[in-house]
């Protein structure tokens, strides 16, 4: 019997993934990561007891702080808007699962992500609304052949149905959509950890001061809500942050040139395909519509992604993920944008 080590968060997705693996005849072993001191593992313990799964709970708080929390805060200090979930799958979750798989002499690892793996290649989920390839694009290529995704081809509604049929404690629990290590309101957490020095808000078109911001770390490129700026009927967007002068620049209108770019430099690019595809599609934020792009490979892990038709609010720190015919070809972190 093949052995599978599955990441058990205590949520409904990983729980149902474990059930499906058992039905397929695998011996399932659970691994729960303790990433923060206040993490509650009781749901994971409850589910594993019910399914007769041996569960390992390992404290990775220090490693998580070093690899995820500290870089996350450092990026915000530098005016960059990071995506910690992308980095976590690459540096922590999937990597630690793989290492523990080797230690425990298991044959595979598994998670409750919504995506497909066919012949060691990553494809989008059948449930496109829940597709999570955006967050898996930086998983090392050699790990994909050892990664099982039991939820592929299953909708979220079906997952909850299976959970109810098995009387799981988390069957009807709402999905978590927040950053996992932030248990308070995001704004409160950032206010506590950032240097919240107020400064001027300037209209980039007129160069006039139109308001005050409450610290640049509270804003991201493309943001339009929570700016607290009146006196205009048009929508207002954040288009630039000057960290040295502590100035927040805004512009009005949905299609303003200050928000639009035609290419970006992407580093830490993780190529998941055997070929260096030069024409494909890209997504610059989770669930964003795909955009036709051209890819220029300029180094071992750097590419320039070109999108001549232009895209609004492409933001340094976010992930750029490449697709072709429902296959995820890889992705990296947006380092710099290039305007028209």
- The set of catalytic residues is 88, 180
If DSSP states are collapsed to H, E and C, what string results for the chain? CCEEEEECCCCHHHHHHHHHHHHCCCEEEEEEEECCCCCCCHHHHHHHHHHCCEEEEEECHHHHHHHHHHHHHHHHHCCCCCCHHHHHHHHHHHHHHHHHHHHCCCCEEECCCCCEEECCEEECCCCCCCCCHHHHCCCCHHHHCCEECCCCCCCHHHHHHHHHHCCCCCCCCCCCCCCCCCCCCHHHHHHHHCCCCCEEEEECCCCEEEEEECCHHHCCCCCCCCCCCCCCCCCEEEEEEECCCCEEEEEECCCCCCCEEEEEEEEEEEECCCCCCCEEEEECCCCCCCEEEEEEECCCCCEEEEEEEEEECCCCCCEEEEEECCEEEEEEEEEEEEEC
């Amino acid at each position: 019997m093949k052995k599978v080590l599955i990441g058990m968060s205590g949520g409904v997705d990983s729980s149902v993934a474990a059930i499906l693996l058992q039905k397929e005849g695998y011996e399932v072993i659970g691994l729960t990561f303790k990433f923060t001191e206040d993490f509650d593992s009781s749901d994971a313990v409850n589910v594993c007891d019910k399914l007769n799964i041996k569960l390992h709970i390992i404290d990775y708080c220090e490693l998580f702080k070093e690899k995820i929390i500290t870089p996350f805060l450092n990026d915000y200090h530098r005016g960059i808007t990071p995506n910690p979930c992308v980095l976590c799958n690459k540096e922590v979750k999937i990597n630690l699962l793989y290492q523990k798989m080797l230690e425990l002499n298991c044959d595979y690892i598994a998670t409750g992500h919504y995506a497909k793996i066919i012949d060691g290649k990553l494809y989008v989920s059948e449930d496109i609304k829940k597709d999570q390839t955006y967050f898996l694009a930086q998983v090392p290529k050699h790990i994909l052949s050892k990664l099982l995704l039991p939820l592929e081809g299953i909708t979220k509604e079906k997952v909850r149905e299976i959970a109810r049929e098995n009387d799981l404690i988390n069957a009807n629990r709402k999905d978590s959509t927040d950053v996992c290590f932030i248990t308070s309101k995001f704004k409160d957490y950032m206010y506590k950890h950032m240097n919240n020095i107020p400064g001027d808000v300037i209209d980039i078109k007129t160069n006039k001061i139109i308001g005050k911001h409450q610290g640049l770390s509270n804003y991201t490129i493309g943001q339009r809500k929570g700016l607290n700026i009146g006196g205009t009927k048009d929508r207002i967007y954040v288009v630039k942050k000057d960290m040295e002068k502590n100035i927040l620049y805004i512009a009005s209108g949905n299609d303003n040139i200050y928000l639009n770019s035609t290419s970006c430099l992407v580093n830490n690019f993780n190529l998941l395909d055997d070929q260096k595809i030069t024409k494909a599609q890209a997504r610059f934020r989770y669930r964003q519509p795909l955009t036709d792009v051209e890819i220029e490979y300029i180094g071992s892990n750097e590419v320039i992604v070109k999108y001549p038709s232009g895209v609004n609010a492409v933001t340094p720190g976010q992930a750029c993920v490449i697709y072709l015919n429902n296959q995820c070809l890889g992705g990296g972190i947006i380092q710099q944008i290039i305007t028209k």
